[in-house]
Amino acid sequence: QVQLVESGGGLVQTGGSLRLSCAASGRSLSSQTVGWFRQAPGNEREFVARMRSSTDTLYYADSVKGRFTISRDSAKNTVYLQMNSLKPEDTALYYCAADRFRQGIRSNQYEYWGQGTQVTVSS
């Protein structure tokens, strides 16, 4: 099993930045696909970003391309989501997720999930 804990969320103004962390235990993330998803109240959970390895092509939702960056610190078994130029529409509960084999952008392609960290962007 893999346990995931997100942190780093908070309240920022439009144009600000946050870095979210996803700390893993139980298994190494080095052989996992790790994705970030977000969900606002009343909305469906949507894909944000994904990576699998240091040589894997990073994949981002169109809505965050050029603004968000996913990265990993293998020594800390932690994946990050750097969010820049934040917009009010980025406001959501952000989740990290992992899967051993699949490399998807749909929530049902990820086996392990954290509890989420709230990001709120004000005008």
Q: How confident is the model at residue 29 (pLDDT cuts 50, 70, 90)?
A: confident
3-state secondary structure the chain: CCEEEEECCEEEECCCCEEEEEEEECCCHHHCEEEEEEECCCCCCEEEEEECCCCCCCEECCCCCCCEEEEEEHHHCEEEEEECCCCHHHCEEEEEEEECCCCCCCHHHCCEECCCEEEEEEC
**pLDDT computed for residue 54 by the predictor:** 64
Compute the mean pLDDT over every residue in the chain, rounded to the nearest whole number: 95
pLDDT digits (tens, 9 = 90+) for 54-113: 667 789 999 999 999 999 998 999 999 999 999 999 999 999 999 999 989 999 999 999
